[in-house]
Amino acid sequence: MNVTLQVWRQKNATAKGQMVKYEVKNISPDTSFLEMLDIVNQELIARDEDPIAFDHDCREGICGMCSLMINGMAHGPEHATTTCQLHMRSFKDGDTIYVEPWRARSFPVLKDLIVDRGAFDRIIAAGGYISVSTGSAPEANVIPVPKENSDLAMDAAACIACGACVAACPNASAMLFTAAKVSHLALLPQGQPERHKRVIDMVRQMDDEGFGHCTNIGECSIACPKEISMDFISMLNRELIKATATNKE
């Protein structure tokens, strides 16, 4: 199949970028989207041009490195799919495909389609962890966890921190990400000691990073390759209200 690509090209973080058109010929529908970009890049390299820079790592939907706004949708048109799991069969012969980086003030473009998602790391560093004493591993099942909670915690923990929620949100809000990370630990016994401090610190960091706020529109949850529910945003709000009301500091 043949497609036309419109790709955001930007030399570096300070350069002005623009959309550049590429004609892609004779691609098998079973090529993955990133393989298609690899093929385009090989041709660019052969022509002595700068290849298109994009993020990727595992290419099996688990690491959260891949990104891309494809035809205006984070991770492309397929539901619950990362860009690396997307195939050319999701498009039609002759299609024009727009490929852009995540857009948010807090995710500055570094080059072409690569953005700096360090803001997410800083939100995690602000409290998205539990403190444990290292040493010999304790018996895994010694602390009982209600099945309902462990299921829900697993749903939240499915977040791979790819940033699609921010990219899809009309306000570039990081609420779904922060909600998933806060809820995941708030639901488990190991998360209890730091529960209140965690939510206060993580929300503060999220705000400081300059993300927008949540207007409950729900574009995040639809774009999320791991189908994180907006219920977790409600849970985050509840956690913050409770934590602030009982905060002793």
Partner 1 sequence: MAPALALYRSTIGKKVAMALTGLILVGFVVAHMLGNLKIFTGSQHLNEYGEFLRTVGEPLFPYSVLLWIARIVLLGSVVVHIVAATQLTMLDRASRPERYVFHKKQQATYASLTMRWGGLIILLFVIYHILHFTTGAAHGNFIEGDVYHNVVSGFQVWYVSVVYIAAMVALGFHLYHGVWSMFQTLGLNSSKWNGLLRGLSVLTALVVAGGNILIPVAVLAGFLS
Give which of ligand FES, partner 1, none residue 56 binds (C-beta under 5 to 8 Å, depending on kind).
ligand FES
Residue 162 Cβ vs ligand FES, minimum distance, rounded to whole Å? 7
The torsion angle over the Cα atoms of residues 145, 150, 153 and 154, rounded to 10 degrees, is 140
Tokens matching residue 114: 């690569």
Strands 18-24 and 3-9: antiparallel
**H-assigned helices in the chain:** 33-46, 118-125, 147-157, 164-168, 175-186, 195-208, 219-223, 231-246
Asked if residue 27 binds ligand FES (CB under 6 A), the reply is: no
Residue 13 Cβ vs partner 1, minimum distance, rounded to whole Å? 12
Of 46, 132, 142, 245, the residue at the interface with partner 1 (CB under 8 A) is 245
Alpha-carbon gap, residue 59 to 140, rounded angstroms: 31
Residue (130 or 222) nearer to ligand FES, CB: 222
Residue (56 or 197) nearer to ligand FES, CB: 56
- Summarize the chain as % helix, strand, coil (round to 5): 40, 15, 50
Alpha-carbon gap, residue 239 to 249, rounded angstroms: 17
Give which of partner 1, ligand FES, none residue 104 binds (C-beta under 5 to 8 Å, depending on kind).
partner 1
Asked if residue 82 binds ligand FES (CB under 6 A), the reply is: yes
Asked if residue 163 binds ligand FES (CB under 6 A), the reply is: no
CA torsion sign for 19, 66, 111, 28 is: negative
Asked if residue 31 binds partner 1 (CB under 8 A), the reply is: no
Residue (55 or 239) nearer to ligand FES, CB: 55
Q: Which stretch binds ligand FES (CB under 6 A): 14-22, 38-46, 61-69, 116-124?
A: 61-69
The torsion angle over the Cα atoms of residues 110, 111, 114 and 115, rounded to 10 degrees, is 20
Of 52, 73, 84, 202, the residue at the interface with ligand FES (CB under 6 A) is 84
Give which of ligand FES, partner 1, none residue 112 binds (C-beta under 5 to 8 Å, depending on kind).
none
Give which of partner 1, ligand FES, none residue 217 binds (C-beta under 5 to 8 Å, depending on kind).
partner 1
Give which of ligand FES, partner 1, none residue 236 binds (C-beta under 5 to 8 Å, depending on kind).
partner 1
CA torsion sign for 94, 61, 118, 222 is: positive
Asked if residue 164 binds ligand FES (CB under 6 A), the reply is: no
CB contact set of 161 (below 8 Å; sequence gap of 6+): 64, 117, 120, 124, 177
Asked if residue 63 binds ligand FES (CB under 6 A), the reply is: yes
Q: Provide φ and ψ at 5, rounded to 5°.
A: -105, 140
Considering only residues 75 to 114 of the shown chain, the ones binding partner 1 according to CB under 8 A are 98, 100, 103-106, 109
Considering only residues 42 to 71 of the shown chain, the ones binding partner 1 according to CB under 8 A are 69, 71
Yes or no: say if 67 and 115 are a contact pair by the CB < 8 Å rule: yes
